[in-house]
Amino acid sequence: MDRKKALRSVTAPMKGDCKHMVVIRDMRLINPDDLQNRNAYPIRTFQIRNRLHKCSVCGIYRATKVTVDDKWAQKNPCYFCENCYFLLHYKEDRSLLYDEFASYDYYQE
């Protein structure tokens, strides 16, 4: 592919009013040691790690619950492990202490 043609296609305006700039740091000709399969490109050289939320209370275990507008929580939204969630929201007889909050199961990405 012609280098100028490739650069024009990268900087073409997207749909809508926004424009996206792409900076190409390194460009070179393909050599025999490179992958020859065109479908393998572009090659991803960096991938962001998924962020795992830990419990906002104990900071040890992974979060399994998230609450929104919880009056006793440190943050909004607040992430809880199973143990801390039940300790802070339920009585010993397994009834809710209060219900002025929204609670959801949280699955790690």
Q: What is the DSSP string of 40-108?
A: G-SPP---PPPPPPBPTTTSSSBP-EEEES-TT-SSSSEEE-HHHHHHHHB-TTS-BS---SEEEE---
The pLDDT of residue 102 is above 80: yes
* Predicted TM-score (pTM) of this structure: 0.54
Render pLDDT for 9-46 as a digit per residue (tens, 0 to 9): 555 555 667 777 778 777 888 888 888 888 888 888 78
